[in-house]
Amino acid sequence: MKALYGQQNSPGEEMTFVLQERENLPACRDHDVKVQVRACALSWVDTKLLSEIKLKKELVPVGREISGVVLEVGSKVTFFQPDDEVVGILPLDSEESGVCEIILVHEHYLVHKPEKVCWAEAAGTVRDGLRAYTALHYLAQVSPGTSVLVLDGASPFGTIAIQLAQHRGAKVISTAHSLEDKQYLERLRPAGARVIDVSHGKIDVAESCLEETGGLGVDIVLDAGVRLYSAEDEPASKSQLLPHKHDIITLLGVGGCWITTERNLQLDPPDSHSLFLKGATVSFLNDEIWNLSNVQQGKYLTILEDIMEKLSNRIFRPQLDEPIPLYEAKVSMEIVQKNQARKRQVIQF
């Protein structure tokens, strides 16, 4: 039985991926569920976070969002029984690679998968759904009538965030990084999101958003990374299509909330003063918090159940690539790790 692992020989080096034969599974512990994996979505491996929380290993298990069928349950498992269809996210400290035919998972990381939802969609939506819920329900309170700016809305995460915000009755504005992205966003159902095409670099996002909101500014901004410096000083890896932090502060409305994925965000005193005058807040989006502490376990499982329900009712329509066979997992994971995949990559067994 093969499983996918990542290796990083020295810090700063690119990760390499290997499909390795794994030993036989140990017996089910009291709260373990043995799952036959049917699909596993691939996500970027955050090596920096792993080393910061002392979880860096020589071989890092890859593939954490899984869907599959329960084969066997431990003696104290109460939520599941054999033949149940399940979906979940393996915790950061998991020894298991989701890109493996059979794995052991603690029951508190799984929820039931609705019958109407296919394996690939369940695995491919669960993390983006969790991120969208964390951002729009816990870091900000999206409600009918609020205006939400989703940057890079055609990404897998952006797509789900737009759909969740619209479902909650928010007015959505989104940016597109290419003509294909713009056409994709305009075809999204339900229609109604205003799309700003930034691919030519000629359009001022702040100006467009202020115009769209009658000069009041946006209530919630969900970024996909921001530029912190002038174009000459910015590292080459940073896309020039990303807005500058000053643009985001400018377009935020009074009492607005900026939710950022920029872990090294630097705010100078004038930036802080602008945010103070608006009574605005900055929140950092790190969806790993749910599994780093068990305090919110019940809330976390409720979110996963809600994501599956919305997927079943077609409120969520994820941005997925064609399912990938196991023998192509290594190549696909290299593309994901380099942030070159525009659609969510899912391995299907």
pLDDT tens for residues 54-101?
A: 777 788 899 999 999 999 999 999 999 999 999 999 998 888 899 999
With residue 332 as reference, give the H or E element that holds it. Answer: helix 329-337
Residues 6 or more apart whose Cβ sits within 8 Å of residue 199: 176, 177, 178, 179, 181, 182, 241
Same domain, 95 and 191: no
Structure-token match 């399912």, residue found: 323
Q: Which domain holds residue 161?
A: 144-284
Residue 298's alpha-carbon distances to 28, 42, 294, in angstroms, are 23, 25, 9
Check if the beta carbon of residue 158 is closer than 8 Å to that of residue 131.
no
Please give the single-letter amino acid code of residue 282.
Answer: V
Check if the beta carbon of residue 286 is closer than 8 Å to that of residue 48.
no
Q: 164-188: per-residue pLDDT in tens? A: 999 999 999 999 999 999 999 998 8
Q: Is 49 a domain residue? A: yes
Same domain, 198 and 96: no
Same domain, 109 and 153: no
Same domain, 206 and 261: yes
* Cα torsion angle, 319, 322, 327, 331, sign: negative
Q: Is 138 a domain residue? A: no
- Phi/psi at 15 (nearest 5 deg)? -75, 140
Same domain, 163 and 88: no
Q: How many domains does the chain have?
A: 2
> What are the strands of the beta sheet with 218-222, ordered from one edge?
194-197, 171-176, 147-150, 218-222, 252-260, 281-284
- Measure the CA–CA gap between 133 and 300, rounded to whole angstroms: 10
Same domain, 159 and 279: yes
pTM for the model:
0.93
Q: How many residues comprise the chain? A: 349
Q: 261-313: per-residue pLDDT in tens? A: 999 899 999 999 999 999 999 999 998 888 877 778 889 999 999 999 999 99
Same domain, 239 and 329: no
- Of 264, 284, 304, which residue is a domain's last? 284
Two tokens, residue 141: 């309170």
